[in-house]
Amino acid sequence: MRIPFLRPNPARLSKLLPGLEAIEASGIFTNYGPVNSRFEAEATASFFGGHGGCLTVNNATIGLMLALREAAGEAPRGTTRYALMPSFTFAATAHAAIWAGLTPLLCDIDPDRWTPCARSEEALLERYAGQVAVVMPYATFGNGLDLDRYAGLARRHGVGIVVDAAASLGSIDDSGQGFGTGFAHAIVYSMHATKTFATAEGGLIYSADAERLARLRTMGNFGFGEPRTATMPGLNSKLSEAGALLALAKLESFGQIVTHRAALADAYRRGLPGCKFQQVAGRQIAYQFMPVGMPAGHPGPREALLASLAAAGVAAGHYFSPHLAEQPYFQRVSEIAELPVTEKLAPRILSLPLADSMTIPEVEMVCATVRAA
Ligand SMILES: *Cc1c(COP(=O)(O)O)cnc(C)c1O
């Protein structure tokens, strides 16, 4: 049996012909067109119970750049301003901050939830008082975050907040609502082909603050606050109508997909009792893949384990190792705090296969292979 790491499953392109013909007939291909507006409204209803609003972007990295720029506001030239983020995240988080004119300030993570560590964040906010423009937590692998705590940090420290929730579309919080519901700062989700809410390229920004969302929408269209006139910083972050059609079609079966992936994740937890699993915050994670920590007693290096999995037909990854502080470019341009928990977890992390089409027997076969390896 061969088990690929990820099997992207966007809505079937070949089934979208009527919608594509309608786009052609409308003559509107982008610029927040009617298909895009429909998707934004339906996403707000289905992910966030109709509270707040959504803005599409052409990918989450651009969405993060936009949201960071909005949250950071204007600053005098030449001052160093930090974006406080975990080192245990994807490269896009730090790249977005750098493109937004901010310097990544890398903090540690919680040993159980693998989300940013509150003590590490708050110590750095004290140490770099007045220099942190934005706190940028990552909702690690779709896990929940205490968003009220971040709203409190914004008030107490006068900082902006942008949540990287790239893997969180479909995750459910403790109150049973979609992760992020009601949060007034910007939360950025990815709709990349490899994410659980798979399209091709795309992203979604959520905020319960309508004025913030309107500013982001204007910034995403060249900052044109008046016709053809830039009144604020801008770039082009618009999602095409064809991209919005793909997203709209994905909404249809999405609830079942998240439930199925949760069942696969439970099978992993049952099948690998010796491994360390992420402690879940909230009711449900919309698992993109299955992150596990190798058992503490495992003697060999991860590479040997991955090689024996590959030899048995199981493809696996190791997100996020190397973590940001281990990557040459970020080492040159970031400020790096003490990272004891990250340094302990990253070398032991494995990302095991998960897909809409995967079955529980397949998960059991992967678990048996991991145990044997
Ligand atoms: C996937 C991902 C991104 C980037 O999303 P794109 O839509 O591909 O730009 C950003 N941050 C994290 C943590 C991710 O996993």
Q: What letter would DSSP give residue 177? A: S
Instruction: State the virtual CA torsion across 207, 212, 214, 219 in degrees, nearest 10.
Output: -110
In angstroms, what is the span from residue 99 Cα to ligand 1's centroid? Answer: 15
Residue 59 Cβ contacting ligand 1 at under 6 Å: yes
The total of structural domains in the chain comes to 2
Residue 178 Cβ contacting ligand 1 at under 6 Å: no
pLDDT recorded at residue 295: 79
Q: Say if residue 179 is in the same domain as residue 221.
A: yes
Q: Say if residue 198 is in the same domain as residue 261.
A: no
Residue 85 Cβ contacting ligand 1 at under 6 Å: no
Residue 103 Cβ contacting ligand 1 at under 6 Å: no
Give a yes or no: residue 1 inside a domain: no
Q: What is the mean pLDDT of residues 352-371?
A: 96
Give a yes or no: residue 164 inside a domain: yes
Backbone angles phi, psi at 138, to 5 degrees: -110, 130
Residue 199 Cβ contacting ligand 1 at under 6 Å: no
Q: Say if residue 150 is in the same domain as residue 22.
A: yes
* Sequence-separated (6 or more) residues with CB below 8 Å from residue 295: 274, 275, 276
Q: Say if residue 111 is in the same domain as residue 237.
A: yes
Q: Tell me the pLDDT tens digit for each residue of 283-337.
A: 999 999 999 999 777 767 889 889 999 999 999 999 999 999 999 999 999 999 9
Residue 162 Cβ contacting ligand 1 at under 6 Å: no
Atom of ligand 1 nearest to the CA of 140: 13
Give a yes or no: residue 2 inside a domain: no
Structure tokens at 32: 């927040």
Q: Say if residue 76 is in the same domain as residue 208.
A: yes
Q: Which of 229, 251, 273 is the last residue of a domain?
A: 251
pLDDT recorded at residue 364: 97
d(CA 167, CA 175) in angstroms, rounded, equals 19
Specify the residue with its C-alpha closest to ligand 1, atom 8. Answer: 192
Q: Is 337 exposed, middle or buried (0-12, 13-18, 19+ CB in 10 A)?
A: buried
Q: What is the mean pLDDT of residues 40-44?
A: 98
Q: Say if residue 25 is in the same domain as residue 158.
A: yes
In angstroms, what is the span from residue 298 Cα to ligand 1's centroid? Answer: 30
Handedness of CA 33, 36, 42, 43 (dihedral sign): negative
Q: Say if residue 279 is in the same domain as residue 223.
A: no
pLDDT recorded at residue 300: 73
Q: Tell me the pLDDT tens digit for each residue of 159-195.
A: 999 999 999 999 999 999 999 999 999 999 999 999 9
In angstroms, what is the span from residue 90 Cα to ligand 1's centroid? Answer: 7
Q: Say if residue 310 is in the same domain as residue 218.
A: no
CATH code for the domain in which residue 52 is found: 3.40.640.10
Residue % of the chain over a pLDDT of 70: 99
Backbone angles phi, psi at 67, to 5 degrees: -65, -35
Q: Say if residue 213 is in the same domain as residue 73.
A: yes
Q: Is 151 exposed, middle or buried (0-12, 13-18, 19+ CB in 10 A)?
A: middle
Give a yes or no: residue 3 inside a domain: no
Q: Say if residue 276 is in the same domain as residue 237.
A: no
Residue 140 Cβ contacting ligand 1 at under 6 Å: no
Structural domain of 274 = 254-372
Place of tokens 């099997």: 7
Give a yes or no: residue 4 inside a domain: no
**Beta carbons of 334 and 325 less than 8 angstroms apart:** yes
Give a yes or no: residue 75 inside a domain: yes
Q: Say if residue 143 is in the same domain as residue 96.
A: yes
CATH code for the domain in which residue 331 is found: 3.90.1150.10
Give a yes or no: residue 216 inside a domain: yes
Question: Does residue 76 register a pLDDT over 90?
Answer: no
d(CA 28, CA 240) in angstroms, rounded, equals 9
Residue 93 Cβ contacting ligand 1 at under 6 Å: yes
Read off the pTM: 0.97
Q: Say if residue 54 is in the same domain as residue 182.
A: yes
Instruction: State the virtual CA torsion across 272, 275, 280, 283 in degrees, nearest 10.
Output: 0
d(CA 230, CA 112) in angstroms, rounded, equals 46
DSSP for 65-91, please give it. Answer: HHHHHHHH----TT---EEEEESSS-H
Give a yes or no: residue 312 inside a domain: yes
Atom of ligand 1 nearest to the CA of 93: 11
Residue 164 Cβ contacting ligand 1 at under 6 Å: yes
Residue 196 Cβ contacting ligand 1 at under 6 Å: no
Structure tokens at 4: 């690929």
DSSP helix/strand/coil, 54: strand
Atom of ligand 1 nearest to the CA of 191: 7
Q: Which of 251, 275, 302 is the last residue of a domain?
A: 251
Q: Tell me the pLDDT tens digit for each residue of 235-281.
A: 999 999 999 999 999 999 899 999 999 999 999 999 999 999 999 99
d(CA 98, CA 280) in angstroms, rounded, equals 30
